[in-house]
Amino acid sequence: MAQSVLLLVGDDYEDLELHYPRLRLREAGHVPVVIGALAKTKYRGKHGYPGVSDRAIDAVDANAFAGIVVPGGWMPDKLRRDPRVLDLVRAFDRANKLVASICHGGWICISAGIVRGKHYTGSLGIKDDLVNGGALFRDEAVVVDGHHVSSRHPDDLPQFMAAVLAVLAR
């Protein structure tokens, strides 16, 4: 069954961590919807690849989507300061819907206060942040804890997306 899934975008996102999941979701029959601070806006990836938002963050309702994917890069450090982003991630968590983060994307989950007591991974650069946020850190390619899926870096994308698709299939 096709489900709509949100993906966050903002300047300095990790290019592969947005586009690989977007394409894999589409390939699996889902509807990826890219959201940023503004709708129909081009954001620059860390490596220069453009990511265009379909909708604005404040124009989406978590009830209409099966989950959210949070790419890494430096983007999450800025977006985690936006209360709309944190409220949206919390809404997915409360509803036991997919919350998937890769690399530095875990920063948003930390700031949303949803990692405490959960098994998580992410870039080693945010390991201390995850631990200080109460997560049980594991240095593995992908970690699944209920509806939470996390990975470390672009090389883990195949395992990450296999786990994301498995959670969506539940």
Catalytic residue check, 148: no
Catalytic residue check, 109: no
Residue in 19, 103, 109, 147 annotated catalytic: 103
Is-contact 108 89, C-beta < 8 A?
Answer: yes
> In the numeric block, which tokens belong to residue 51?
């990511």
E strand or H helix that includes residue 149: strand 148-151
Residue in 19, 30, 47, 104 annotated catalytic: 104
Is-contact 151 141, C-beta < 8 A?
Answer: yes
Helix (H, G, I), strand (E, B) or coil at 9: coil
> String of b and e for 66-103 (b: at least 16 CB within 10 Å)?
bbbbbbbbebbbebbebeebbebbbbbbeeebbbbbbb
Which residues does the annotation mark as catalytic? 103-104
